[in-house]
Amino acid sequence: MNPLHTTLRWLSTHTRFPASRLETRAEVLLCVAALVAAEEAEALAGTRHLIQSRDGAKDSALRAYSYRRSKVHYVCDNSAKV
């Protein structure tokens, strides 16, 4: 919902806006805050969130890599006497 509509709804609910009005400065402050919120909402609507939660191929490759590394290492037994 548009922040201006939200502000108007709040004014009508809490101050009976058309019948009784707030002080002029208070109304101006609320309207300016609503305009700023509307601009921020519009700016954020165009941004893309490039956070990728999981990469299955990368996780699989790391599991395979660690599995292969665990198979390569062995314990050297120097107990054989010549």
20-74 pLDDT, tens digit each? 888 889 888 988 988 888 888 887 777 766 676 788 889 999 999 998 888 876 6
Contact 7, 34 (CB under 8 A): yes
Which residues, 6 or more positions from 27, have their beta carbon under 8 angstroms from its beta carbon? 11, 21
pTM of the model: 0.48
In a domain, 82, yes or no: no
In a domain, 77, yes or no: no
In a domain, 52, yes or no: yes
Which residue has tokens 């509509």? Answer: 5
Query: What residue numbers bound the domain in which 33 lies?
Result: 3-72
| Number of domain units in the chain | 1
Q: What does the pLDDT read at residue 2?
A: 76
In a domain, 80, yes or no: no
In a domain, 7, yes or no: yes
What six digits make up the tokens of 10?
């709040």
In a domain, 81, yes or no: no
In a domain, 27, yes or no: yes
In a domain, 78, yes or no: no
